[in-house]
A and B are shown apart, each in its own frame.
Chain A
Amino acid sequence: MDEVATKIVEILRKNMKDPSKTITLETPLSDLEIESLDLAVIVFDIEDTFGIEIPYNANEEVEAFATVGSVVERVQSIIGENKASGAAA
């Protein structure tokens, strides 16, 4: 796991009932017993850690939040976009 993934797993563990569970990139978030409110807290924590904004609405099913790996990918792509727009400016 790269640095982004490691940090995200750390954030996930903080919000899990049982932080000792094994987490891989393939682990579905549903396996981590994360509920909607936890997810809002996690998204906030990720935004704060990486200085980004993640569009997320708890009322909608979002594919980006299916597995740990998909969250990491989404975050990496937002970081990438921010860098690109920063370079353009």
Chain B
Amino acid sequence: MVTGQGVVTPLGTGVDKFWAALKSGACGIREVQSFDTEELYITIAGEVPDFDPIERDLSKQLRLADKYSQYAGCAAREAVTQSKLDMPLKDNEAYRAACVIGSGIGGITTLELSYKMLFKEGKRATHPLTLLKAIGSSASAHVSIEYGIKGPTFGVVSACSTAAHSIGLVYRMIREGGVDMGLAGASEASLNWGTTRAWQAMRVLSPDGLWPFSKNRNGTVLAEGAGILMLEEYEHAKERGAPILAELMGYGTTSDAADMVNPSIEGASTAIQMALDDSGLAPSDIDYVNAHGTATAVNDINETRSIKRVFGDHANKLSISSTKSMHGHCLGAGGGIEAVAAIKAIGENYVPPTMGLNEPDPECDLDYTPNAGKDREVNYAMSNSFAFGGLNAVLVFGPPPA
């Protein structure tokens, strides 16, 4: 069961703000503010606005951490608060709780600034916290310290599928009886000059905007943020009268084992099928798919074909959207933020739009909810994550048990 959720996104911090922005078709992609874009031809990104660690009242330890840990701390606090769990956990509960918060690349901005100091400015030493800030498990460690979570705590890494893999993993831990509850998701704050330069060299970024499934799409746009869920075993949640937002019903994961950048229909569609099988639902039960929808030439066609392969005729009845058109590609955190969008879609019976979709690519011919969200009964929703390396993770959510 999902008993809490939290987000930090380019559309704002907090689920209410995020959801309102998705409903209104807002755009969180803007000219970069946080670093100098000198010599870059990519000068836009989805940066998290108004995030001051002191104003957000983060703990002293988190205030000294990398931004990616701060985003995780902030999103986790929202999820924990909503779950009404009594924190920090008592010892009998603490070892029965997990904290799996991944990141595509961890504290890379900390590293960039440190290397600049060493190599360019000729400084003799780096800040003593550099290593702790940079490591990819520091977000999960920080959050476990904040809430006294003493069970399985680590980060998961799978590029843009990181959050979905983390959520799927904790879901399985709960199902296997290893833990009763756990925070799961991911955080990313990798926007800086060097990272943009590296992405720019791959030639997959758009200099203009992120328009999934559109004929005019010309690449993805980097973004940052965090998306974290509190997952809890049903009886455990019921017993303490927890608010249940949704049920996590299925998880499917595969690897294409083929190519680092060109996705395969087989890998993606098998992951979708596995998630459906795991949930016990028929394809026709799914109402909404929050697509991976990166607006790269290859992803959107591959994803469309994969959906068609699994859903058959029902593919045309699905409401699909890529909310990345609004919040950008939040990389490792994307699947967590998008899982929240899927859960809200169920809770509010509303499908958020794909913005910037005036003229669809003829090869992308499904209902992507273009340019305006719509009211629709959403009982079951799917969230797709397909990462570089061909790493696929798919989640299926349903309503709280009656």
Q: Which residues of A contact B (CB under 8 A)?
A: 35-37, 39-40, 43-44, 55-60
Contacts and interface: CB of A to CB of B under 8 A. Distances in A.
A19 B341 CA distance: 48
A36 B262 CA distance: 8
B318 to A, nearest CB: 25
Question: Per DSSP, are chain B's interface residues mostly helix, strand or loop, or mixed?
Answer: loop
A58 B388 CA distance: 15
B202 A40 contact: yes
Contacts of A60: 218, 297
Contact of B261 (A36, A55, A56): A36
10 contacts: A35-B259, A36-B203, A37-B259, A37-B261, A37-B262, A39-B203, A44-B201, A58-B203, A58-B204, A59-B297
Interface string B209-221: 0000000011100
A59 B201 contact: no
A57 B262 contact: no
Closest 4 CB pairs of A and B: A59-B297, A58-B203, A59-B219, A40-B203
Nearest to B259: A35
B298 interface: yes
Interface of B: 41, 201-204, 206, 217-219, 259-262, 295-298
Nearest to A53: B41
A1 B296 CA distance: 36
Contacts of A56: 203
B41 to A, nearest CB: 8
Contact of A57 (B218, B259, B261): B218
B161 to A, nearest CB: 19
A39 B203 CA distance: 9
Nearest to A44: B201
B343 to A, nearest CB: 31
B202 A37 contact: yes
A36 B298 contact: yes
A55 B203 CA distance: 9
B262 A59 contact: no
Contacts of B296: 58-59
Nearest to B220: A59
A36 B298 CA distance: 10
A55 B207 CA distance: 11
Contacts of B219: 57-59
A17 to B, nearest CB: 13
Given A36-B298, A40-B201, A44-B201, A59 B261 contact: no
Contacts of A40: 201-203
B204 A59 contact: yes
B259 A59 contact: no
